[in-house]
Amino acid sequence: MVIKKIVIGFYLSSLLTLVGCKQKEEQQNASENLSEVQPIAAKDIIPSKMVHIPAGTFKMGTNDPAFPDAQPIHKVTVKEFWMDEHEVTNDEFEKFVKATNYVTVAERKLDPKDFPGVPVESLVPGSGVFSPPNQPVTLDNPLQWWKYVPGASWHHPTGQQSNIKGQENNPVVHVSYEDAAAYATWAGKRLPTEAEWEYAAQGKKPGLKYYWGNELKPGGRWMANIYQGDFPTKNTGEDGFVGVAPVKTFPPNAFGLYDMDGNVWEWCNDFYRPDYYAKSPADSPKGPSDSYDPDEPGAVKRVQRGGSFLCSDQYCIRYRPGSRGKGEIGSGSDNLGFRCVKDSDGLANK
Ligand SMILES: [Ca+2]
């Protein structure tokens, strides 16, 4: 917990330093620009459904040198399980919040004791929002396009003035690991292990360049909600979406799962360590006993998979098969969501 507080403190202080009160106007402009993107009106609420994933053995990881933490490729066996066919939606998450009065991490008051050195007036609940800069930037500092936006949360995705009306079928975002795990428990489910997630994403099609095949656009069609254009300044939205897309917009994989690639990152239950694949057990691995990320040694991180609408071959290529993501457990953003799984014992498909 202490480490988590330090990390959040660093996260907040870094972002708040950049955002600062002096930059409120700039921040508001960014939010206004984002709000110009018209949401797709939800025609019908898509009911949640789980897909049966049969037990199997597969090759996990990739030899792609761009992903050293996803090596070596190793054989893994998973038991059968059920998986949400799509990412948890705003509508589903709202039902959870109404039933439990749950308050997400992004909405909770910040205790000054947890953030030494950060001015009290800056300690406002919020979350990270993708805010494209006006000028081309180097791609070595994500804080150039990520802003800590006070008031941003799952029902105010781009800030206090925004809402989720008409976005009921969009994946819920701004959820921390703790939020996702709380939802899963309430729903009688759990978060997937990383092995379950990758096995499900492969959909019985191992060794491909993309989860859906070897062509980026088979037949000229975009197969996932990713990023087109010049990152991070010019998102052409050629696939139809500059932000999140309603679930089930893009084609499912062979298991009938939607958006395993792109749209929003998805939390897995495993702690993150870059060296885990060298030691992973072959049967139903559940991740290491603790986390370690040499990029941020003090942070407690869990695995995230699948990439998001901000991924492309230009930046964040981690929508490709086998690649891994990671995130600090108390942090959310507007490109991070989740889906749940359930053990097969006695479960009917619903
Ligand atoms: Ca897109």
* 179-183 mean pLDDT: 97
Ligand 1 geometric centre to CA of 77 (Å): 33
Has residue 124 been placed in a domain?
Answer: yes
pLDDT in tens, 102-156: 999 999 999 898 888 888 988 999 999 999 999 999 998 999 999 999 999 999 9
Has residue 48 been placed in a domain?
Answer: no
Ligand 1 geometric centre to CA of 142 (Å): 19
What pLDDT score was predicted for residue 23? Answer: 33
Residues with Cβ within 8 Å of residue 107, at least 6 apart in sequence: 125, 153
Q: Are 307 and 261 in contact (CB under 8 A)?
A: yes
Quickly tell me which residue has 């976005």 as its tokens: 167
Residues with Cβ within 8 Å of residue 256, at least 6 apart in sequence: 51, 85
Does the structure show a pLDDT above 60 at 80? yes
Ligand 1 geometric centre to CA of 128 (Å): 19
Q: How many domains does the chain have?
A: 1
Question: Which two structure tokens, joined as six digits, stand for 70?
Answer: 């996803």
Does the structure show a pLDDT above 50 at 21? no
Does the structure show a pLDDT above 80 at 78? yes
Write out the E strands in the chain: 50-53, 56-60, 74-78, 81-84, 126-130, 146-150, 229-230, 234-235, 265-271, 301-305, 325-328, 336-337, 341-343
Alpha-carbon span 72 to 204, nearest angstrom = 20
What pLDDT score was predicted for residue 22? Answer: 29
Q: What is the CATH number of the domain that holds 172?
A: 3.90.1580.10
Alpha-carbon span 12 to 17, nearest angstrom = 8
Has residue 174 been placed in a domain?
Answer: yes
Has residue 41 been placed in a domain?
Answer: no
Does the structure show a pLDDT above 60 at 75? yes
Question: Which residues constitute the domain of residue 162?
Answer: 4-35+53-343
Ligand 1 geometric centre to CA of 96 (Å): 28
What pLDDT score was predicted for residue 242? Answer: 97
What pLDDT score was predicted for residue 177? Answer: 98
pLDDT in tens, 291-312: 999 999 989 999 999 999 999 9
Has residue 333 been placed in a domain?
Answer: yes
pLDDT in tens, 28-67: 333 333 334 344 455 577 777 999 999 999 999 999 999 9
- Give this prediction's pTM: 0.88
Residues with Cβ within 8 Å of residue 70, at least 6 apart in sequence: 61, 62, 64, 277, 322, 323, 324
Ligand 1 geometric centre to CA of 111 (Å): 37
CA separation (Å) from 74 to 50, 71, 135? 27, 8, 43
Ligand 1 geometric centre to CA of 311 (Å): 9
Ligand 1 geometric centre to CA of 121 (Å): 36
* 90-111 mean pLDDT: 97
Dihedral of CA 32/162/336/344: which sign?
negative
Has residue 303 been placed in a domain?
Answer: yes
Question: Which two structure tokens, joined as six digits, stand for 197?
Answer: 């997630």
Angular region, 250: left φ>0, alpha ψ -120 to 50, beta rest: beta
Reference 195, options 81, 314, 319; nearest CA is 81
Does the structure show a pLDDT above 50 at 208? yes
